[in-house]
Amino acid sequence: ITPKAIDEALLHPQKIDENLVAAQTGRRVLDRIVGYKLSPILWSKIKKRLSAGRVQSVALRLIVEREGEIEKFQTREFFRVFVTLSKKENNSPIEFELTKINSESIEKQEKIKLYDGDYTYSHTSLSETDANEIEKGIYKKDFVVTDVVEKEMRRNPSAPFITSTLQQDASRRFGYPSRRTMSLAQRLYEEGFITYHRTDSYNLSNDFLTEARTYIEKTFGKKYLPASPRVFKTKSKMAQEAHEAIRPTNLFQNTNEIESKLGADFAKLYDLIYRRALASQMTEAVFMSTRIESETKSDKTYTFQTNGRILKFDGFLKVWFYEEEEQIIPKVSISDKLDLKSSKVSPHNTTPPPRYNEASLIASLEKHGIGRPSTYAPIISTITARYYIEKKENRFYPTEIGTTVSNFLVKNFSDIDDLAFTASMEDELDAIAAGKKDWVPVIKNFYTPFEKSLQKAEKQDKIEVVEEKTGRICPKDKGDIIVKYGRFGKFYACANFPNCDFKESIVEDSGFICPRDKGKMATKRTRRGRTFYGCANYPKCDFAVWTKKELEDKAIKQEVTPDEA
């Protein structure tokens, strides 16, 4: 929203696109049908105040399915062998890892099918006995360099941000929930600092490209400017590309101005958008990559490998973040002899598929064509507010009630609570927007089988939700104290409610002590579900911090006794 943009819009008025109106009407009717029909069934079959939705239920299913996949995953132990070698005349040590035995790779890859796609993990074929025997066998043996490969590698800049990638990067770098990111971006947009932030297009205007190229050449020099503007294409067949990518409206508007006007969080997000958009129009970064192989022989031939990489030309990394450590390897040549300085055997475990965080959940929804740029944040907010999921250490865990709801929907509405179906409905809505279909037949085709599923679900038995017991006894009537969910999160209550009104806040110990009054620092949540850390002695002490980093910097680490450990 800038004076120039408003003037341009007034000079080129357009008629309302009735196809887009029809698509929006169809989407709204579809979502109302699913929400209004499914939610009452959840109330009667599980418990009151639950909800279901066409898109939110699929997002919940992703998290529930992942938890089940993690539980099924069988972790196994494996071992790696490392050696530290150096040339006789040069004492600079180089760490190598065992990669082959008798020219056969010891690295194995396994692939398992998940609800969300394939998950690949790797491990070696070495047991602890194998690794220890190898370590003994190579003791005092000579090592010879058998291969040295050096090659130049180029890394291109990423595309400017769209809604999903902005939410993912803000989550990874700053720990911002998607809702917070969108709130900050909304204000930046309203103030005229950035372009529209609900977009799935990588396109940049010609005006911006011209301004960016001039800025890059004047500020950094010609070697940072590619021969022609970079053009990025979306890979998503669902993309509507109605707007530009997210970019600053003025490259000469610096972060300090944003901070002084709006505050630090707005400035951080603006800086991220600014860097990404500018970097997208700069030259690639150039690295020199080195791979060295060294062999030793006992009863078998053991091949060890090391890799190094150094930055030769920073290119777009002049503006964007360069967060990798350089791995500098001393110069060696084929046939050089290396001395063994030390060796070690390292235990490892295969890792199950990771739980979703904000970034990976949004990436998965986008990959499968679920939802739209404007809906990612509300989807996550809704299933969090319903206590279907909870966040621990920035990862999503399904709650007991969330798992129960998802399993019920999968059992009775498998055609609806499914990735493929939800994505296909988005295709249908896009066809309406393109004028290829009418919204009424599309909704009718959906509703006919849906109505039959509703009738079947009505006949299901009521599900008893197991209350989470604490093992504590109520001081008022000696009933069991259980964990309940309210508007502002978990709390303790008597199982005999409403006959007994005992309730108590849950204090989640953060492992830190308040620097003011030495009380415990508790993990708390605001009314909107945002996590913070505050003194458990509130309101007597109001010390609080927003992030784990601030907690570590300002609070006192709690000492752990041997018994507690």
Q: pLDDT tens digit string along 344-390?
A: 999 999 999 999 999 999 999 988 888 877 888 889 988 988 889 98
Rounded to whole angstroms, the Cα distance separating 89 from 16 reads: 78
Residue 2 has pLDDT above 60, yes or no: yes
Which secondary-structure segment (H or E) carries 9? helix 3-11
CA distances (Å), origin 465, targets 19, 45, 47, 431, 481? 45, 10, 8, 41, 16
pLDDT at 45: 93
Ranges 83-87, 371-375, 511-515: which has the least confidence: 371-375
Count other C-beta atoms under 10 Å from residue 126's C-beta.
Answer: 20
Through-space distance between the first and last CA atoms of the chain, rounded to whole angstroms: 57
Question: Looking at per-residue confidence, does 207 or 506 come out higher?
Answer: 207
How large is the average pLDDT for residues 396-420? 90
Residue 227 has pLDDT above 90, yes or no: yes
- 274 is annotated as an active-site residue: no
pLDDT at 120: 95
Question: Looking at per-residue confidence, does 275 or 387 come out higher?
Answer: 275
Contact present, 334 and 145 (Cβ < 8 Å): yes
* Contact partners, residue 348, CB within 8 Å, separation at least 6: 77, 78, 79, 80, 123, 124
How large is the average pLDDT for residues 238-259? 85
pLDDT at 562: 44
Contact present, 378 and 439 (Cβ < 8 Å): no
In this prediction, residue 157 has a pLDDT band, given cuts at 50, 70 and 90, of very high
Ranges 117-126, 213-222, 378-387: which has the least confidence: 378-387
Burial class (CB in 10 A: 0-12, 13-18, 19+), 166: buried
In this prediction, residue 193 has a pLDDT band, given cuts at 50, 70 and 90, of very high
Burial class (CB in 10 A: 0-12, 13-18, 19+), 29: middle
Residue spans of beta strands (DSSP E) within 115-213: 117-124, 143-155
Q: Domains along the chain? A: 19-71+359-458 (1.10.460.10), 77-156+285-349 (2.70.20.10), 163-279 (1.10.290.10), 468-557 (no CATH)
Residue spans of beta strands (DSSP E) within 236-300: 285-297
Rounded to whole angstroms, the Cα distance separating 397 from 388 reads: 9
Question: Looking at per-residue confidence, does 466 or 107 come out higher?
Answer: 107
Tell me the one-letter amino acid at 306.
T
Q: In what order do the strands lie in the sheet with 544-545?
A: 544-545, 531-535, 520-525, 508-513, 556-557
In this prediction, residue 243 has a pLDDT band, given cuts at 50, 70 and 90, of confident
Most confident stretch, 325-329, 463-467, 493-497? 493-497
| Assigned token pair, 266 | 């707005």
Contact present, 71 and 428 (Cβ < 8 Å): no
pLDDT at 92: 82
Supply the Cα-derived Rg of the chain in whole angstroms: 29
521 alpha carbon, distance to own chain's centre: 27
* Collapsed DSSP state (helix, strand, coil) of residue 265: helix
In this prediction, residue 532 has a pLDDT band, given cuts at 50, 70 and 90, of confident
Ranges 5-9, 77-81, 211-215, 227-231: which has the least confidence: 5-9
How large is the average pLDDT for residues 393-421? 89
378-381-385 Cα angle (round to 5):
135
pLDDT at 91: 74
Kind of pairing between the strands at 395-398 and 389-392:
antiparallel
226 alpha carbon, distance to own chain's centre: 31
19 alpha carbon, distance to own chain's centre: 34
pLDDT in tens, 22-38: 999 999 999 999 999 99
Q: Which phi and psi angles does 535 have, rounded to 5°?
A: -65, 135
Kind of pairing between the strands at 285-297 and 143-155:
antiparallel
Running DSSP on this structure, what letter comes out for residue 327?
Answer: B
Q: What average pLDDT does the chain have?
A: 90
Contact present, 282 and 315 (Cβ < 8 Å): yes
**Residue for token pair 């709801």:** 405
In this prediction, residue 140 has a pLDDT band, given cuts at 50, 70 and 90, of confident
Rounded to whole angstroms, the Cα distance separating 493 from 504 reads: 6
Which phi-psi region, left, alpha or beta, contains residue 239 (left: φ > 0; alpha: ψ -120 to 50)?
beta
pLDDT in tens, 455-489: 999 998 888 777 778 888 999 998 988 888 766 56
Contact present, 157 and 316 (Cβ < 8 Å): yes
How large is the average pLDDT for residues 63-78? 96
pLDDT at 185: 96
Catalytic-labelled residue, pool 115, 176, 189, 196? 196
Output b/e per residue, 91-112; b: 16+ Cβ within 10 A: eeebebbbbbbeeeebeeeeee
pTM above 0.75, yes or no: yes
Contact present, 173 and 347 (Cβ < 8 Å): no
Residue spans of beta strands (DSSP E) within 40-135: 77-87, 94-101, 104-105, 107-114, 117-124
pLDDT at 565: 40
pLDDT at 488: 59
Nearest to 302 by CA among 338, 329, 330: 338
Ranges 149-163, 318-332, 481-495: which has the least confidence: 481-495
pLDDT at 553: 87
Residue 564 has pLDDT above 70, yes or no: no
Rounded to whole angstroms, the Cα distance separating 97 from 303 reads: 8
Residue 49 has pLDDT above 60, yes or no: yes
